[in-house]
Chain A
Amino acid sequence: MSANSALMGFVHRRRRGAELFLLILALVVGIGAYAAVGLGVDGEVPTNLLGYGGWLAILVVGAHVAVRLVAPYADPVLLPVVAALNGLGLAIIHRIDLARDTGLASQQLTWMTLGVALFIGTLIALPDHRLLARFTYTSGLAAIVLLILPMIPGLGTSINGAKIWISLGPFSFQPGEVAKLLLVITFAGYLVVHRDALALAGRRVVFVDLPRGRDLGPILMMWVVSLGILVLQRDLGSSLLFFGLFLIMLYVATERPGWLVVGGLLFFGGATVAFRIFAHVQNRVDIWLDPFADPNGNGYQLVQALYGFAWGGLVGRGLGEGMPQRVPYVESDFILAAIGEELGLTAVIAVLLLYGLVVERALRAALISRDGFGKLVATGLAAVFALQVFVVVGGVTRLIPLTGLTTPFLSYGGSSLVANWVIVAILLRISDQARRPLPDLTADADDPDEQATQVVKVVPR
């Protein structure tokens, strides 16, 4: 914050025109990829290209207009980046539809519509992100309830050995995707209040200053409960994600790197125990160490994905020219394998750079945010995003053992897409607040009371 006051003269520009230009580029990516899929598979431009492209354009322009009206100072890069990712994901899902004769892309477009609607709704309903701090404990409770829901018999559905789905009539829903957003809010709201106590009060054990139990207790409880649920549900990816998220937010709030050491030790301890106890964890590690030991059984999915990446090479086979359907679940967790196969290393690196940009922009918003809560939420969301991409992409490319998670904005899956659009809305809101110029204080300078109490911004009740 001191850095900001030194730059009192500096005012961020709105840059909405730049955003619109980038959005048009994003639309070119999305619609162009859709047309290329049609050309590659059927040899002709898809007949519904106009309708599809028009709908995509309406969604994207609608989001842009909403940002222009209610968050004019928001970061101009975030929305185009996620629009490009979402458009590319739709095209790839459409590509897989054509290979498998399914209709997932139109469902995904419906989910995207809902996502953009919630994105706009969030921006309108949430004029200031600090309002969220009021729901610290409510959202914590909601997160736990959501995480428990899939374990309720009759409601929860087990897909691929992970009990992370609930089905309501024709819809199935992954509550964990929403829970991660709620947990960020909870952690941020709690930590911003208790950060001084956590950082300063406590006693030193060996090299680490341990905080008092009453300060750390509630949040630790929360974390243990959410992790415990995930372990019971066998959702390794989310466990890893929440653990890392908690650690990073604790470190940022307390500014004490010791937490990273403690967390790292806990992670390796936990990983070792999990490896010893759970057969499915061992199985994952075995596949990671040598997927070719059982290329037609356990290792099949990863082996096929690796062959797909290799087959794509530098520039890829071209949309419609590969065989991404050989990889099981290529439309969700393994969608990057399809991109790698048909669009090549070039596109994979481009996608990773887009993800990197999202994280960078979120952290930038955190840096310039004027309040601790905003900083923590933005950092938390950036961390969620970075960790999720790392865990899923690392798993798919055999950098780390595979744990199921969706690839944000690309993978087929409604809950993930909708939750991520809301996350972006909150990030935009934080950056809007951070980049907004301070109110002009010189106008009524003759009234001494006005100078004594500076109104930075009114939080509506």
Chain B
Amino acid sequence: MNKPIRTVSIFCMFLFLALMANVTYVQFWKAEDYNTDPRNARVAEASFSRERGQILVGDEPVATSKPSDDQYKYLRVYPSSGARMFAPVTGYLQLGSQTGIERSQNAVLTGEDPQLFVTRLVDLLKGDQTQGGNVVLTLNAAAQKAAFEGLRDTLGPRGEGSVVAIQPKTGRVLAMASYPSYDPNELATHDSKSAAAAYEQLDKDPRDPLVNRAIQTRLFPGSTFKLVTAAAAIESGKYHGDDQVPAGSSYQPPGTTRTIGNDGRSQCNPSKISFATALDWSCNTTFAHLAVEVGPEKMRDQAEKFGFNSNYLLDLKGQAQSVYPTGIPLSDKDGGGTRELSDAETAQTGIGQFEVQSTPLQMAMVTAAIANQGTLMRPYLVEQVQTAGFDVLRTTEPDKLSDAVSPQTARELTDLLVSVVDNGTASPAAISGVKVAGKTGTAQRTSTRCSAGGKPPYAWFVSYAPADNAEVAVAVMIEEAPDRACDEIAGGQLGGPIAKAVMEAVLKK
């Protein structure tokens, strides 16, 4: 009977091998999937109960875990001095869900990240609770404060807006403010009823305090988009910064009867003016004309080199893509598909209208690329990942996204933009003793003017300083300022002082 017994042995061996292979599959190959399953309450509860790493700005924590004596061992606390200011970046932690950095850096903060493997092993051997790693943000506390308080004080209690500041050479995000904001402590409380009520209230608020406008709100960039148009025009080789450019009191693109005017800025009226004058006074006729002359392909090409139509932000989820239209969808009757933009549409894109949409972060990147000799760096928020004991595990390396324009073009644009601050519409951003480059934008959102009962425009302001060796590039976006009169809502008047305050904070002026 020994032969069948040997056969049975081999059969049993296969049974056990199958079990081992399967359990290895479940615990090793498939574990990641199960552990990241949003329905997995076990992981959520464990990470909620664990001492989570800190989120730091400089040396100061903006999110930290405090021992708690209710059903969970630790409570996530956002120190009240900066809770609202940093909320759009930090996000908040709830049982089973996180937003912002709390979400994107969850693995580090909970200690599950492979980079923390050694620390975790040491904790395990010592019998200690696993401690999460710390995340150090690139934010500059002074700049963030200037940005948030600037928005709050300028726009009034009912206002909505956002500021992004970038270090042009590296892509470090120095400030990312969104107004109105919320107190993440109200959402992170262990009292689930009051957390739910707070969420309900914030979610219903028509001013969308939970939205991080810096990366999620797309609006017409208006005249600030003229930076892209000017860059495309100079890159095309047809114009230089000191050339004369076409202008006029109105411009009628080929193939349309709709004309584009200059809102009464008489400096634009001559048929030829200097490039500097055109930017100083933000002459729509000039840039509509230039856009048509360059053509939609090259306009799009230039916009995409600056980051339009793409995702580039790795450190926060939910980034909205900024848009330069890729084509106009055709009806089925016309065979479907898309067609290229017409001259009339291209002319509108040249002044940041038609279907051009940009987030504040995107306009800050356009500005930063010009400030950085034309090189666009990937924006990032996580400066360092540390162990719970503050040992540095990883420092983010700056990452080049593209050569948006040549250094020569960047230099010419900088000269033009310095002139806008010195002589033109961007004068509110001037800082004594520092060369500042800037551009305003006031984008209409309805064909009826605000003064005639239409909706007020969106106001934009972009700038960087010092112009020759920029330390900071800022974009200010003002979506709503109902406490301000119509004629006050203009990029220079409202955005300029905020941008100036942020730049001064970075330059320590």
Q: Which residues of A approach B to under 8 Å, CB–CB?
A: 3, 39-40, 248, 251-253, 255, 257, 292, 295, 303-304, 306-315, 318, 321, 323, 326, 340, 344-345, 348-349, 352-353, 355-356, 359-360, 363, 366-367, 372, 375-376, 379, 382-383, 386-387, 389-390, 393-394, 397-399
Contacts and interface: CB of A to CB of B under 8 A. Distances in A.
B19 A352 contact: yes
Interface stretch (B33-41, B95-103, B201-209): B33-41
Interface in B1-29: 1-9, 11-13, 15-16, 18-20, 22-24, 26-28
Contact of B19 (A304, A344, A394): A394
Interface string B41-53: 1110110000000
Contacts of B32: 310
B328 interface: no
Interface string B344-385: 000000000000000000000000000000000000000000
Contact of B24 (A318, A345, A376): A345
B330 interface: no
B388 to A, nearest CB: 17
A314 B8 CA distance: 31
Contacts of A318: 124, 127
A311 B42 contact: yes
Contact of B9 (A344, A348, A360, A397): A360
A410 B124 CA distance: 25
Contact of A375 (B5, B37, B46): B5
Given A355-B16, A389-B19, A255 B1 contact: yes
A292 B26 CA distance: 15
Contact of A356 (B11, B16, B41, B46): B16
B265 interface: no
Among B12, B22, B39, B45, residue most surrounded by chain A Cβ atoms (within 10 Å)? B12
B18 A310 contact: no
A315 B124 contact: yes
Contacts of A323: 42, 45-46
Nearest to B22: A399
Given A344-B27, A397-B22, A390 B39 contact: no
Contact of A248 (B8, B33, B42): B8
A255 B16 contact: no
A323 B40 CA distance: 12
Contact of B20 (A255, A352, A372, A387): A352
B10 to A, nearest CB: 10
Among A3, A355, A394, A397, residue most surrounded by chain B Cβ atoms (within 10 Å)? A397
B30 interface: yes
B197 interface: no
Among B4, B20, B43, B124, residue most surrounded by chain A Cβ atoms (within 10 Å)? B4
13 contacts: A255-B1, A310-B35, A311-B31, A340-B23, A345-B23, A348-B27, A349-B23, A352-B20, A356-B16, A375-B5, A389-B16, A393-B23, A398-B26
A314 B28 contact: yes
Nearest to A394: B19
Contacts of B4: 251-252, 255, 257
Contacts of B39: 292, 295, 303
A130 to B, nearest CB: 15
A306 B27 CA distance: 8
A386 B27 contact: no
A253 B1 contact: yes
A3 B16 contact: no
Nearest to B36: A310
Contact of B6 (A253, A312, A367, A389): A367
Nearest to B21: A399
Among B5, B6, B13, residue most surrounded by chain A Cβ atoms (within 10 Å)? B5
B19 A390 contact: yes
B31 A310 contact: yes
A323 B9 CA distance: 37
Interface string B188-208: 000000000000000000000
Among A315, A326, A359, residue most surrounded by chain B Cβ atoms (within 10 Å)? A359
Contacts of B2: 3, 367, 375
Given A349-B23, A352-B20, A306 B45 contact: no
Among A295, A323, A326, residue most surrounded by chain B Cβ atoms (within 10 Å)? A323
Nearest to B32: A310
Contact of B127 (A3, A39, A372): A39
A393 B40 contact: no
B124 A309 contact: no
B35 A311 contact: yes
A399 B19 contact: yes
A363 B19 contact: no
Contact of A345 (B16, B28, B35, B40): B28
B80 to A, nearest CB: 33
A236 B18 CA distance: 21
A308 B5 contact: no
Contacts of A353: 16
A313 B19 CA distance: 16
B177 to A, nearest CB: 38
Contacts of A349: 20, 23-24
A134 B43 CA distance: 57
Nearest to A252: B4
A313 B46 contact: no
Nearest to A366: B5
Contacts of B9: 360, 363
Contacts of A366: 5
Contacts of A309: 23, 26-27, 31, 34
B42 A308 contact: yes
A345 B18 contact: no
Given A309-B23, A345-B28, A387-B15, 6 more contacts: A253-B1, A310-B30, A321-B129, A352-B20, A367-B2, A397-B22
A346 to B, nearest CB: 9
B18 A394 contact: yes
A372 B43 contact: no
Interface in B252-293: none
Contact of B12 (A304, A307, A386): A386
Shortest Cβ-Cβ A-B pairs, 10 listed: A310-B34, A310-B31, A345-B27, A399-B22, A386-B12, A252-B4, A390-B15, A356-B16, A363-B9, A309-B26
Contacts of B16: 352-353, 355-356, 359, 386, 389-390
Contacts of B45: 323
A296 to B, nearest CB: 8
A292 B38 CA distance: 12
Contacts of B1: 252-253, 255, 372, 375-376, 379
A306 B34 CA distance: 8
Nearest to B112: A313
